[in-house]
Structure 1
Amino acid sequence: MTTTSGNRPVGELLRQWRERRRMSQLDLAIQADISTRHLSFVETGRSKPSRDMILHLAEELELPLRERNHLLLAGGFAPVFAETPLNSPEMASVRTALGQVLSGHQPYPAVVVDQRWNLVDRNSATGLLLRGVAPELLVPPVNVLRLSLHPKGMAHRILNLGEWRAHLLHRLRRQISLTADPELTELWRELDGYPCDQPEPEIGAGTGQIVIPLRLRRGYRELVFFSTMTTFGTPLDITVAELAIEAYFPANPETAAYLQHQHHPD
């Protein structure tokens, strides 16, 4: 998943990440409080960085925990960040926290996804979003971006498909720029190839909207949502670091009333 394929030296990998972050050697040296000369020697292999120096530079570059482990291995050190399966006993408190957030968000939809947008868990309110989706798209692993934009997924019910599609592809491109994950790049290519008969506006062009809404057809109704993303603070485990909760909120009183009625029909 990574820029660290092969047996490239740690200095070369650090340089590649620095350039990906669009930082000069001087920028990173100042931020990391080291000399430019020292950083140059590390990047060219003239100086072997210590374990602490690798972790320090990785922190300043805001690298994912998985990539920090790869850098440590390239530098001749053991990884320091564990990757604990979510279903393991050690992760019981994490599973409990996720379950509380999902159930507490009812009657509004919420999902837990991993870093590649594969569905990890969801609450029952998401059933409203999944109506009419082709069964094959719901076979695990379920990718929520594919589910949204696939012609047999939610796409035919999204009234502002061009706008929503532009938003999702923009978000995915930004994630690719931060992580350099080739599987996300392949996912972007797949999603970008899906048909769309609506114009796709430039994100950030200034439409006067507060957020980009999801406008969903539900029978003769139009349901309007906005979403938020929540991650764990200061994670030290790769699995936890790569989890996110996307919660959908009603963007108007009519949508809120409909969802409340669906949850409590009496």
Structure 2
Amino acid sequence: MTTSRAASLERGGRRAGNSRVGEMLRQWRDRRRVSQLDLAIAAEVSTRHLSFVETGRARPSREMVLRLGEHLDVPLRERNHLLLAAGYAPVYREGELGDPEMTAARSALRQVLTGHEPYPAVVVDRMWNLVDGNAGVALLTEGAAPELLAPPSNVLRIALHPAGMAPRVLNLGELRADLLGRLRRQVDATADPGLAELLAEVRGYPCDDPVPEVEVPGGSAVFVPLRLRHRDRELSFFSTIATFGAPLDVTLSELAIESFYPADAATGEYLRRAAAANGTIDGGSIRPYPT
């Protein structure tokens, strides 16, 4: 092969690589509904150079890929993919929760979960798989089919599947609309095909309780509650969601803690009395996904 031919092939390979990362960056910019000018100003690069990057005429530096990814709020997992497409090694590690480096994070998660008892709390990953949960989770999984509880158990399947929690949810249509909305926004934010498949699956579960097309809250409503039938009584909960601040590990960045709180005094009193009498809340068992 002649020198000129080899150089031509090398330039062609570089252009192909530049085109891949450029197209990926443009897709993320479109997904975030950010103009080229606005992104260029925020990232402190010229609009001309950003245009060259997106069209494959220029190769971005590693620092520029990271800067653009940050301003576009690209998930850490996808920032690594951008780096690979640009010809660089990933910079964000993807560890296991059981790694020694994760000791402090594991301890914090366990402290939050146990400190929240007797109320339910779960830790889920990006696919809504259960990573960990406290004793109160048994209240939510009571009566669920064993196959739904076997690891890796998925909290959306448990909540909405007819063999899971759904038959005991008194406001299933309202809760289903809220959960599907959260998942749909997550799909839009991450472009994750696995999440899109999960959305299609759980959206197909039957639901006799009509799902409202548009949420019109009541005059005194401040959140969508979980109204759950537990034996001869109705329990009501609301939830909060927490994540790790400024994570530099892909796994940690994708974990979320959802903590359930009593939405009325009767629910709180019942759970506290039951826990004081039994040491825990009786119900089904759930096994966290092994990490």
Task: Tell me the TM-score range normalised by the shorter chain.
Answer: over 0.9
TM-score w.r.t. the length of structure 1 is 0.95
Question: Identity of aligned pairs, percent?
Answer: 62
Q: Could you tell me which residue of structure 2 aligns to residue 172 of structure 1?
A: 183
Amino acid at match of 1:264: A
SS at match of 1:9: helix
Q: Could you tell me which residue of structure 2 aligns to residue 3 of structure 1?
A: none
Matched, 1:87 2:86: no
Which string of whole-angstrom CA distances, capped at 9 and with x for unpartnered residues, describes residues 37-58 of structure 1?
A: 1111110011111000000000
Which string of whole-angstrom CA distances, capped at 9 and with x for unpartnered residues, describes residues 52-100 of structure 1?
A: 0000000000010000000001111110000111111111111111000
Q: Could you tell me which residue of structure 1 aligns to residue 127 of structure 2?
A: 116
SS at match of 2:64: helix
Deviation at 1:204, TM superposition (A): 4.6
Alignment of structure 1 residues 1-266 onto 2, 5 Å: 9-202=20-213, 204-208=215-219, 209-265=221-277
Which string of whole-angstrom CA distances, capped at 9 and with x for unpartnered residues, describes residues 100-154 of structure 1?
A: 0000001100000001100000000111111110111011100000100000000
CA distance in structure 1 between the aligned counterparts of 2:54 and 2:260, rounded to whole angstroms: 44
**Superposed CA RMSD:** 1.4
SS at match of 1:247: strand
Amino acid at match of 1:179: T
CA distance in structure 1 between the aligned counterparts of 2:216 and 2:190, rounded to whole angstroms: 25
Q: State whether residues 162 and 199 of structure 1, in contact with CA within 8 Å, keep that contact through their aligned partners in structure 2.
A: yes
CA distance in structure 1 between the aligned counterparts of 2:256 and 2:48, rounded to whole angstroms: 39
Query: Which runs of 5 or more structure 2 residues have no equivalent in the other structure?
Result: 1-15, 279-291
Q: Which has the larger radius of gyration?
A: 2
Residue correspondences, number? 261
Q: State whether residues 167 and 203 of structure 1, in contact with CA within 8 Å, keep that contact through their aligned partners in structure 2.
A: no
Distance 1:90 1:247, change over 3 A: same
Once the two structures are overlaid, the 10-residue window that deviates more, 6-15 or 85-94, is: 6-15
Deviation at 1:203, TM superposition (A): 5.2
SS at match of 2:240: strand
Once the two structures are overlaid, the 10-residue window that deviates more, 32-41 or 66-75, is: 32-41
Query: Which runs of 5 or more structure 1 residues have no equivalent in the other structure?
Result: 1-5
Q: State whether residues 230 and 246 of structure 1, in contact with CA within 8 Å, keep that contact through their aligned partners in structure 2.
A: yes
The ranges of structure 1 where at least 4 consecutive aligned residues each deviate by more than 6 angstroms after the TM superposition are none
CA distance in structure 1 between the aligned counterparts of 2:54 and 2:216, rounded to whole angstroms: 39
Deviation at 1:35, TM superposition (A): 1.9
